[in-house]
Chain A
Amino acid sequence: MSLETFNEKVLPLKDKLYRFSLSIVNNTHEAEDIVQEIMIKVWDKREEWDSWSSVEAMCMTMTRNLSIDHTRGKHRRLTSFPEDYDEPAKDITPDQKASSTDMMHFIQQIMDKMPDLQKQIIQLREIEGYTYKEIAEVLQVSMSQVKINVHRARLFLKNELVKSAEYGNR
């Protein structure tokens, strides 16, 4: 019975959990290890599943907490890309900027400037498509906090993008 629930509800979450963890730890190997560990933890807590209002929300919360624990444990790079990524070239033409992966890298850098809570909210809302209520449950904050931070994060991203497009200083 619980094995079925695990296979149907928990295992399919692996990519979501992985993306969420990756957005926090910025390291693919570490994020994978975290997801593997979460799977064991969730299975070990199978007696408690009935008391969880949402298995997915609980899995996401556990992933967030474990990922934060990992980031606290050691000195880390602040940039999000692994070592084999090049720094964005500063002397490319605007056309190249718009089309290349440098643009994605640039947005990642803007994201990294945001407070952790805003970053996590953006991840859950824009990438995973969670409702404000679900985000509040995963991050264990109030709905109004979620809304305020969605607004601030989006505005920040917009201003940074518009600014860089106007001045061409990406």
Chain B
Amino acid sequence: METDNIKILLDKYWAGESSMEEERSLKEYFSNDQVDPAFEAIRPLFAFYKQQGEITMASEINHKPRVEPVARIHNLRWLINVAATVLVFIALFFANRYQDERATETYIFTDTYDDPKVAYQEVKEALLFVSAKMNKGLSKADQSLDKMEPLDNILN
């Protein structure tokens, strides 16, 4: 029954009179495993069409229209300029403030002592303290040099 039907469809098909729908039925029939032996000779033709229809392009399309991305890059560049300017201003502001602070600190140091005599006394004490520490260091260095003497002898 189905074979008769397919035979009619095929006759229309060869004559170029079949509709899209009828051709779809034929393709479906021939993609099936149970094809009447009478149609075996033309079966590969439909397999061929199916196979050809599955061919795809291996590579991607390189050409991507870039109208809008370009505009966006432009906007960003403009923004970078603004950001750089703002940064320079911020840097100047902080640099200025830092210098002010340093000036204030120097001013405070110059006014630590009111009486020059007291100041002189303080400086003298500080120098003596440093001197004592230095002498202590020197005596330690002498001791160390004594220890080095045997080594000196060997080398000579």
Asked if B44 and A36 sit within 8 Å, CB to CB, the answer is no
* List of A residues within 8 angstroms of B75 by Cβ: none
Asked if B57 and A104 sit within 8 Å, CB to CB, the answer is no
Asked if A14 and B65 sit within 8 Å, CB to CB, the answer is no
In angstroms, Cα B27 to Cα A126, docked, is 9
* List of A residues within 8 angstroms of B51 by Cβ: 104
Asked if A158 and B42 sit within 8 Å, CB to CB, the answer is yes
* B48: interface (CB < 8 Å): yes
- For chain B, the bracket of interface size reads 20 to 34
What does the 1/0 interface line of B88-114 toward A look like (CB < 8 Å)?
Answer: 000000000000000000000000000
* B139: interface (CB < 8 Å): no
Asked if B40 and A165 sit within 8 Å, CB to CB, the answer is yes
For window 1-45 of chain A, which residues contact chain B by CB distance below 8 Å?
2-3, 6, 11, 14-15, 18-19, 22, 28, 31-32, 35-36, 39-40, 43
Given contacts A36-B63, A150-B16, contact A15 B57 (CB under 8 A): yes
| Minimum CB distance partner of B49 in chain A | A126
Interface size on A, residues (CB 8 A): 42
* List of A residues within 8 angstroms of B20 by Cβ: 129, 131
* List of B residues within 8 angstroms of A107 by Cβ: 44-45, 48
Asked if B58 and A158 sit within 8 Å, CB to CB, the answer is no
* B59: interface (CB < 8 Å): yes
In angstroms, Cα B67 to Cα A167, docked, is 61
In angstroms, Cα B42 to Cα A166, docked, is 12
* B15: interface (CB < 8 Å): yes
* A155: interface (CB < 8 Å): yes
Asked if B68 and A14 sit within 8 Å, CB to CB, the answer is no
Asked if B13 and A154 sit within 8 Å, CB to CB, the answer is yes
Secondary structure of the A side of the interface? helix
* A68: interface (CB < 8 Å): no
Asked if A103 and B42 sit within 8 Å, CB to CB, the answer is no
* List of A residues within 8 angstroms of B23 by Cβ: 126
Given contacts A150-B16, A158-B42, A161-B41, contact A128 B63 (CB under 8 A): no
* List of A residues within 8 angstroms of B63 by Cβ: 36, 39-40, 43
* List of B residues within 8 angstroms of A151 by Cβ: 14-16
| Minimum CB distance partner of A28 in chain B | B58
Asked if A43 and B55 sit within 8 Å, CB to CB, the answer is no
**Separation in Å of the B74 CB from the closest CB of chain A?**
17
* B62: interface (CB < 8 Å): yes
User: Which residues of chain A have a CB within 8 Å of any CB of chain B?
Assistant: 2-3, 6, 11, 14-15, 18-19, 22, 28, 31-32, 35-36, 39-40, 43, 98, 103-104, 106-108, 123, 126-129, 131, 147-148, 150-151, 154-155, 157-158, 161-162, 164-166
User: Which residues of chain B have a CB within 8 Å of any CB of chain A?
Assistant: 13-16, 20, 23, 40-42, 44-45, 47-49, 51-53, 55-59, 61-63, 65, 67-68
